[in-house]
Homo-oligomer: A and B are copies of this chain.
């Protein structure tokens, strides 16, 4: 029970830490009356001052209906007292929400630890799996630690030497990675403790086994959401309430954009967890099956198979830690991106910016509370059937989703009463997640036509089965794409009141889309519980088999596993759907990063220039010092008017860094030819960089994004092949060197197989990961901002489709095999079954390695672009 203490200790430390922060906040709010009265404000007041010179623009950046709390002259430039208190309360509630999540995670964990561990052999087997998982995790975190140290160094250099980033970015990056790693560690620990207890529970009854597995899954779910929201709350609290204390004065834009960078830490951690875990689990699985099942003819999970422990470790490593890190990243990414977009959408009113910023955090907090309620809704009688349990589970998710929609209405009415359409955006996200989950189930469950059709093709052999699986998988992308497309249009349309073409409401529309992602993920605590519970049940089955328990136990754990497959389908729908919406929101957040990049660029370049002198930064921007304050202006592309032509000529004729003569900034800004960087809209930046489909740089960027998705997919799949090959060799070697193993007289060397999978996973994850990390930077340096956005769009659209294709084809093959094993089409041992096994093996890397890794890739590309935006702005090749 040593670990139990550790985990019990951790939330307490977090509570203490948070209370300390909250205390300082209350203290500082008393001392300075929440006043934000110097540098950060100066910038916002400059923006507001600009509105007088550009009345049209100012009218534009103010969304309709936000009028009652909008800027009204100088006095409104810092937040009003009411807003300050409201936001502070919301912030405290969010912190409370995150701590509640952690508290419940601890509660479920302690409950699980109290359950019976089973007989000695079961404990021993569980210990072996635990040791394997520990060994993997230690090694994994060492490798990842080295990567993080190197990346941290690069980011420090970028911040301090190249001055292309905020100095806090490297630290944000580190905490993102650390919290994500922590969540994975807790989740995997819990899962490995839970397996033998689940087996023991299943010895008593199906229901007891389910309760243990599901509650243990909930530990993972609530740890992820708790740590995610806590990290966000702490950063916001520190950067906003304690900025005097820590010495960094920042505007709300800078704060949200700096916080976004911790998403890249979570993203990198998730990448390694998903790719490494995916390779580990499938190398062990395929290796164990090929030699054990096919060559030696021993059953699955047989204790004589040296790779069987590695196979069980793999379930924890890939499906628990990998899935957790993946969704941790989506969860944080969606909240952070919507916060950044909220600030961009309501520029001009600090009040509304703050309210828009806190809304996603409050939604997440409300989601946590309602998810916990959902967990308690999942109540059944002791002697219930599996079907009833599934119903109960569905009831929990459906009720809490509906309640979240209600909470969203309430929160929007309180925080942004003029933008009630945002509530619809949140609901659209919830509905889209539910629809994609439902479709995934339809596409992969053997109760429906697609999977049954695939199974039927097994009668003509493996070839037709494979063709059927691939074509059904390709076909199945249509519903998720239509749902996501509709969700984007509806979330955008409702949040802007249907003003699709209005440049001034653009950020508001994208804020709506991001809130949709937050809505979709708000019940993550619950949906992730149903996801993480599957591998626990799977491991419990392995434990039962290896410990040689009564077959009825294995039957019960198989039933649990099968129920887990169904619920996992829903979870996968949420994972990929939210990844798509988050990636879209991150594309918009990227534009915000470009804005901050220009701000830094301008400040660095005109530091030593005389007041009033206009300096060219690059062909797209100039900067000027005005009364000691630096302002950066975007030079809009050449138009047809004479003025515009003259300006373009003037900019073209000097070198970067040189002063620009004869330019009347105010007149040019009034005519729209120069746009102040601070008040520029997303469409302004898009126009500045000509991020249009017909721009060759953008189109080539799109091609690069598509290539990245395909090649990344191929690399992870090839890695599984190579790693599995190594495992096959090892198992064959052990069988050959010690015939006692197969006879059951001597024990195989489990640890060596775990170590092979571990080493292979860590070796093989490097190349695809580096590809995902470096290509976005290379594309940015060569093709510029336009190329990056093209790449993000191409990677998002095609990666989304490939990920769904892979997940659904793989899931359908898996269930088609199970359908045959259940006695259909000849049952176990028939030719059809052999074909089904081929399909399942092909599907393994599809659904557990390559497909899920693409989820991460599409977010990682955006995150890397976000973090390196400042670099790209400054150093991109100036050709495009």
Contacts and interface: CB of A to CB of B under 8 A. Distances in A.
Contacts of A837: 463
Contacts of A509: 696
Contacts of A702: 793-794, 797
B694 A691 contact: yes
Given A638-B503, A711-B475, A463 B841 contact: yes
Contact of A700 (B488, B506, B671): B488
A794 to B, nearest CB: 5
A880 interface: yes
A672 B639 contact: yes
Contact of A467 (B472, B492, B721): B721
A842 B728 CA distance: 25
A657 interface: no
Nearest to A466: B842
A584 interface: yes
Copies in the complex: 2
Contacts of A56: 640-642, 644-645
A714 B475 contact: yes
Interface stretch (A136-144, A248-256, A454-462): A454-462
Contacts of A672: 639-641, 644
Given A466-B466, A706-B798, A707-B478, A501 B683 contact: no
Given A641-B56, A692-B691, A711 B478 contact: yes
Interface in A791-840: 792-794, 797-798, 800-801, 805, 837-839
B715 A475 contact: yes
A875 interface: no
Q: Which of A492, A587, A715, A797 has the most CB of B within 10 A?
A: A797
Given A692-B686, A704-B481, A721 B801 contact: no
B481 A703 contact: yes
Contacts of A513: 696
A444 B513 CA distance: 43
Contacts of A288: none
B838 A461 contact: yes
Given A56-B642, A797-B706, A686 B694 contact: yes
B460 A728 contact: yes
A687 B461 CA distance: 54
B694 A789 contact: yes
A57 interface: yes
Contacts of A801: 706-707, 710, 798
A693 B644 CA distance: 25
Interface in A47-67: 54-57, 60
Interface string A720-736: 11001000100000000
Contacts of A492: 696
Contacts of A686: 692-694
A488 B699 contact: yes
A515 B681 CA distance: 38
A641 B643 CA distance: 13
A843 to B, nearest CB: 9
A520 to B, nearest CB: 17
Contacts of A695: 500
Given A696-B489, A793-B699, A471 B721 contact: yes
A879 B584 CA distance: 21
Contacts of A699: 488, 584, 793, 797
B474 A711 contact: yes
B591 A694 contact: yes
Interface of A is mostly: helix
Interface in A644-676: 644-645, 669-672, 675
Interface in A460-510: 460-464, 466-468, 470-475, 477-478, 481-482, 484-485, 488-489, 492-493, 498, 500-503, 506, 509-510
A717 B471 contact: yes
A693 B586 CA distance: 13
A582 to B, nearest CB: 14
Given A591-B694, A706-B481, A721-B457, A474 B638 contact: no
B720 A467 contact: yes
A428 interface: no
Contact of A703 (B462, B485, B718): B485
A682 interface: yes
Nearest to A487: B700
A83 B294 CA distance: 76
A695 B693 CA distance: 11
A690 interface: yes
A713 interface: yes
Contacts of A640: 54, 56-57, 60, 669-672, 675
A790 interface: yes
Contacts of A876: none
A35 interface: no
Interface string A614-644: 0000000000000000000000011111101
A502 B695 CA distance: 10
Interface string A405-435: 0000000000000000000000000000000
Nearest to A697: B500
B838 A462 contact: yes
A766 interface: no
Contacts of A471: 713-715, 717-718, 721
Contact of A694 (B506, B703, B718): B506
A842 B467 contact: yes
Nearest to A55: B642
Contacts of A639: 672
Interface of A: 54-57, 60, 286, 290, 294, 457, 460-464, 466-468, 470-475, 477-478, 481-482, 484-485, 488-489, 492-493, 498, 500-503, 506, 509-510, 513, 584, 587-588, 591, 637-642, 644-645, 669-672, 675, 682-683, 686-687, 690-700, 702-707, 710-711, 713-715, 717-718, 720-721, 724, 728, 789-790, 792-794, 797-798, 800-801, 805, 837-839, 841-842, 845, 879-880
13 contacts: A54-B640, A56-B645, A290-B460, A460-B728, A466-B842, A471-B718, A473-B714, A477-B706, A485-B700, A488-B700, A682-B694, A691-B692, A692-B693
Given A474-B713, A798-B798, 9 more contacts: A457-B721, A510-B694, A513-B696, A587-B694, A639-B672, A640-B671, A686-B693, A692-B692, A693-B789
